[in-house]
Amino acid sequence: MVLYYLYKPIRKKNFITRLCTCRLFNTSNAYIIALGILGVLLSAIDLYRLLRSGPILPCGLWRERIQPGRVISPESERDLKLVGLVFSVEYYGLLIYGIATKNPLYLLPILCFYAIIIVIEFFVFVLKIFPLDYCILPLPRG
């Protein structure tokens, strides 16, 4: 019963109408379109740099934390970056189109992409907390 008396002033039509017509809510579409345009531009510039560099990544585009060619070959790393950049241009473009047409179906690729990122980061977090001290595959002796 006490909750009803606390909730009753919030239920008034004027409060809900004022809250939903706040100008801050009207700027979210413009913010998302600006974010999408920035994402498309940055991805397109990076894609152009990657395509201009040739079949092997130059040293400036390598990751600094690993030695080049140890974990993955530079050709494979270039191909993976190329696929990732094409995918990012696509989902940022669909984000812009989905907001402009107000069709939530076009927002699905970016939601799926970030869901995959969250799952992978959770998996990495669990592996950091509970490290595996054993190897599943037997190592060759010799």
Q: What pLDDT digit, counting tens, does each position of 73-104 carry?
A: 777 888 888 998 999 999 999 999 998 998 88
Q: Which long-range contacts (CB under 8 A, 24 or more apart) does 98-107 make?
A: 99/29, 99/32, 99/33, 99/36, 100/33
What pLDDT score does 10 carry?
Answer: 53
Q: Say yes or no to pLDDT of 39 above 90.
A: yes
Mean confidence (pLDDT) of the chain: 77
Q: Is 116 helix (H, G, I), strand (E, B) or coil?
A: helix
